[in-house]
């Protein structure tokens, strides 16, 4: 597969090498409105329709968002090991974070607009998770397992009001074991039941994490057929733009999934294809709870690459404090607004190989889509 490299200039900005040209990719988009002036002979009456409310974590307009969405988000730690795929509910999460653990990646799925039932397999928490979810307005945090140090970190975060500890030990009635897989890859969760058990009375919806394009505005940047992210340890993630579904088809190569069988699908065989992919190049430290476990440092800043509507924008992310989301800006310092819809957020190390995929390579992957 032919790929051209995305070069990341540490501490400065992200520079994308595409089509032989070096340059900054910026986001632009405008929304125009027409105003009609009344004449001296015609009286015009204008009826204004109130805009529909929007789901805060996708930006999608929906009349039900202000009613059925009046509850906290639920973050579910989900396994991404070879024995965990295909996962259940992975296509219904508003936001999915993918970050390094011990030699593989693991997901943190954020559910709010769709409380699909069930989801899983549910796995253990990590030290990375406290800061990762701190900008989600005190979410229910669903997980199972973990050493004493991580368990203490989650308990401390709950006492500080950062999250609501909704682990298997605390809310066991909302969890169950499936008979079709071996433990520990067989623990599943009923989201509606967990919400009923653990959501505090009166706690409303989470605040938005991203900003979205205005109605009629276009996602700027340079067209790109796809992107490849090498997390190391034999795990390679590819995203390819699919004009038919208007999403980024996800593929994953690992020890159990060759290129021919790399399409990331849910338990129904439907391929993961989010509207946006946000790549935040993230430093990793060492977990204070386990010296073998990498800890994503999601408070700080770094280079960013954003994929939307078949295009790529390079810029920066900045998150000064854990209680606020990362702000995405392009090379000119303007906000990068996302396409409305689901978003996958990738957190590779700053030195991780990240390459554009050319059209020939993208077509070969699209032939493998599900």
Residues 232-280 pLDDT 10s? 888 899 999 999 999 999 999 887 777 888 999 999 999 999 999 999 9
Check residues 47 and 229 and name the one with the higher pLDDT: 229
For the question of whether the overall pTM of this predicted structure is more than 0.75, the answer is: yes
Q: What angle do CA 354, 312, 107 make, to 5 degrees?
A: 55
Strands 164-165, 284-287: pairing is: unpaired
Check residues 235 and 98 and name the one with the higher pLDDT: 98
With a cut of 90, say whether residue 17 has pLDDT above it. Answer: no
Looking at 3.30.830.10, 2.40.128.20, 3.40.50.300, 3.50.90.10, the CATH number of the domain 6-21+210-366 comes to 3.50.90.10
The 8-class DSSP code of residue 91 comes to T
Sign of the four-CA dihedral 109, 236, 279, 61: negative
pLDDT band at 44; cut points 50, 70, 90 = low
Q: Find out whether 314 and 303 touch, Cβ atoms under 8 Å.
A: yes
pLDDT band at 26; cut points 50, 70, 90 = very low
Across residues 303-314, what is the average pLDDT?
98
Chain Cα centroid distance, residue 75: 11
Q: Which of 154, 155, 104, 159 is nearest to 132 (CA)?
A: 154
Question: Alpha-carbon distance 130 to 58, whole Å?
Answer: 22
Question: Alpha-carbon distance 142 to 75, whole Å?
Answer: 6
Q: Which helix (H) or strand (E) holds 123?
A: none
Q: Find out whether 221 and 313 touch, Cβ atoms under 8 Å.
A: yes
Q: Find out whether 56 and 205 touch, Cβ atoms under 8 Å.
A: yes
φ, ψ (nearest 5 deg) of residue 148: -60, -35
pLDDT for position 47: 52
Residues 128-144 pLDDT 10s? 999 999 999 999 999 99
Q: Find out whether 350 and 6 touch, Cβ atoms under 8 Å.
A: no
pLDDT for position 182: 86
Residues 6+ apart with CB under 8 A from 13: 24, 303, 314, 315, 316, 331
With a cut of 50, say whether residue 328 has pLDDT above it. Answer: yes
With a cut of 70, say whether residue 96 has pLDDT above it. Answer: yes
With a cut of 70, say whether residue 24 has pLDDT above it. Answer: no
Q: Could you tell me where in the chain the CATH 3.50.90.10 domains are found? A: 6-21+210-366, 74-198
Q: Find out whether 257 and 237 touch, Cβ atoms under 8 Å.
A: no
Question: Alpha-carbon distance 291 to 285, whole Å?
Answer: 10
Residues 6+ apart with CB under 8 A from 45: none
- Of 84-88, 100-104, 111-115, 273-277, which gets the smallest average pLDDT? 100-104
Q: Find out whether 296 and 268 touch, Cβ atoms under 8 Å.
A: no
As a whole number, the mean pLDDT across the chain is 87
Q: Give the strand order in the sheet containing 226-232.
A: 247-253, 235-242, 226-232, 354-357
What percentage of the chain reaches a pLDDT higher than 70? 86
Alpha helix segments (H runs only) across the chain: 129-133, 148-159, 191-198, 359-366
pLDDT for position 8: 36
With a cut of 60, say whether residue 40 has pLDDT above it. Answer: no
What percentage of the chain reaches a pLDDT higher than 90? 73
**Would you mind telling me the total number of residues written for the chain in this entry?**
370
With a cut of 50, say whether residue 23 has pLDDT above it. Answer: no
Beta strands, E only, 173-253: 175-177, 187-189, 222-223, 226-232, 235-242, 247-253
Across residues 308-324, what is the average pLDDT?
97
Residues 165-224 pLDDT 10s? 999 999 999 999 999 888 889 999 999 999 999 999 989 999 999 999 998 899 999 999
Across residues 34-40, what is the average pLDDT?
35
Across residues 94-110, what is the average pLDDT?
94
With a cut of 90, say whether residue 66 has pLDDT above it. Answer: no
Q: What angle do CA 118, 122, 126 make, to 5 degrees?
A: 145
> For 74-198, which CATH superfamily applies?
YerB-like (3.50.90.10)
- Of 3-17, 74-88, 293-307, which gets the smallest average pLDDT? 3-17
């Amino acid at each position: 597969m032919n790929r051209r490299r995305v070069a990341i200039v540490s501490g400065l900005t992200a520079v994308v090498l595409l089509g032989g040209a070096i340059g900054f990719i910026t986001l632009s988009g405008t929304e125009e409105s027409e105003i009609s002036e009344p004449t001296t002979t015609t009286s015009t009456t204008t009826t204004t329709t109130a805009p529909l409310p929007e789901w805060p974590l996708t930006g999608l307009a929906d009349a039900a968002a202000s009613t059925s969405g009046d509850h906290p988000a639920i973050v579910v730690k989900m396994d991404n090991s070879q024995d965990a795929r295909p996962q259940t509910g992975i296509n219904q999460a508003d936001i999915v974070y993918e970050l390094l653990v011990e030699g593989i990646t693991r997901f943190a799925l954020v559910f709010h607009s769709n409380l699909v039932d069930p989801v899983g397999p549910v796995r253990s928490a990590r030290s990375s998770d406290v800061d990762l979810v701190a900008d989600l307005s005190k979410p229910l945090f669903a997980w199972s397992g973990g050493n004493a140090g991580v368990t203490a970190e989650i308990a401390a975060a709950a006492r500080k009001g950062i999250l609501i500890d909704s682990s298997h030990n605390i809310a066991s009635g909302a969890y169950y074991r499936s008979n079709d897989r071996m433990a520990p890859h067989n623990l599943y969760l009923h989201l509606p039941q967990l919400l009923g058990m653990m959501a505090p009375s009166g706690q409303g919806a989470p605040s938005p994490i991203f900003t979205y394009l205005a109605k009629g505005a276009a996602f700027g940047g340079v067209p790109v057929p796809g992107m490849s992210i090498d997390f190391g340890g034999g795990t390679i993630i590819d995203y390819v733009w699919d004009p038919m579904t208007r999403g980024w088809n996800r593929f994953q190569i690992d020890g159990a999934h060759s290129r021919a069988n790399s399409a990331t699908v849910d338990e129904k065989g439907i391929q993961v294809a989010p509207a946006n992919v946000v790549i935040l190049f993230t430093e990793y430290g060492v977990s204070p709870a386990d010296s073998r476990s990498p800890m994503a440092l999601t408070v700080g800043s770094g280079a960013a690459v954003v994929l939307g509507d078949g295009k790529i924008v390079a810029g920066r992310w900045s998150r000064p404090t854990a209680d606020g989301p990362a702000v995405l800006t392009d090379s000119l310092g303007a906000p990068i607004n996302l396409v409305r819809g689901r978003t996958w957020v990738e957190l590779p190390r700053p030195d991780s190989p990240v390459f554009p995929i050319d059209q020939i390579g993208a077509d070969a992957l699209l032939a493998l889509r599900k």
